[in-house]
A and B are shown apart, each in its own frame.
Chain A
Amino acid sequence: GAVVSQHPSWVICKSGTSVKIECRSLDFQATTMFWYRQFPKQSLMLMATSNEGSKATYEQGVEKDKFLINHASLTLSTLTVTSAHPEDSSFYICSALRGNNNSPLHFGNGTRLTVT
């Protein structure tokens, strides 16, 4: 089946630094990828939609200058958390759409970010 690889699986960084998370579709091309965030004991919250070759579309309340998304190729999208603060500590999960918009989403295994 389709595989989405997310890296790193966990990261600890100091407050004020930036962290980049990569999301790769390993065996298919993904025109569209999605980034989610999940706080402990809560459900996934959609942060943004990443389209290859164009600017990402952010959900209401998500700061685009803080969460930079780049989708430079059909197999790679990156999320950079800039000037991270402890409240940004969360589980970040990417997903990729294979096929048309009615197709299932394929998810990465998530990145646990801890900001100290």
Chain B
Amino acid sequence: DAKTTQPNSMESNEEEPVHLPCNHSTISGTDYIHWYRQLPSQGPEYVIHGLTSNVNNRMASLAIAEDRKSSTLILHRATLRDAAVYYCILRAGGSQGNLIFGKGTKLSVKP
């Protein structure tokens, strides 16, 4: 599986937007970009995923670079409940479906 690189940690203020970057320079044409987050002592939670076009859902937006070598998860208005570890993961299309987790970015949200 192609690797991703994320900052170890980021800080944000409550009610401000947060942009979480992810580099994946070795991404292949069939790799989907998935984002999950994990709150303390809980299982991961699906956030969003995409292939080439930008994606929006009720939780976040995913901006994918034109060359697909990087992407950004956007939380439009951070809340204290958004404090979590965010994982950017590539999953090959047609794979058996498993996800290989990296270290992720620990997001802290200050009131």
Assuming A44-B101, A46-B98, is B93 touching A107 (CB within 8 A)? no
Q: Is A43 an interface residue (CB 8 A)?
A: yes
Residues of A within 8 A of B102 (CB): 43
Residues of A within 8 A of B34 (CB): 104
* A-B Cβ contacts below 8 A, count: 64
- Interchain residue pairs with CB less than 8 A apart (29): A32-B96, A32-B97, A34-B98, A43-B103, A43-B104, A44-B44, A44-B101, A45-B101, A46-B99, A46-B101, A49-B98, A91-B41, A93-B44, A95-B43, A101-B93, A101-B97, A102-B32, A102-B97, A104-B46, A104-B49, A105-B36, A105-B44, A105-B97, A105-B99, A106-B46, A107-B45, A107-B46, A109-B42, A110-B43
Interface residues of B (CB under 8 A from A): 32, 34, 36, 38, 41-46, 49, 87, 91, 93-104
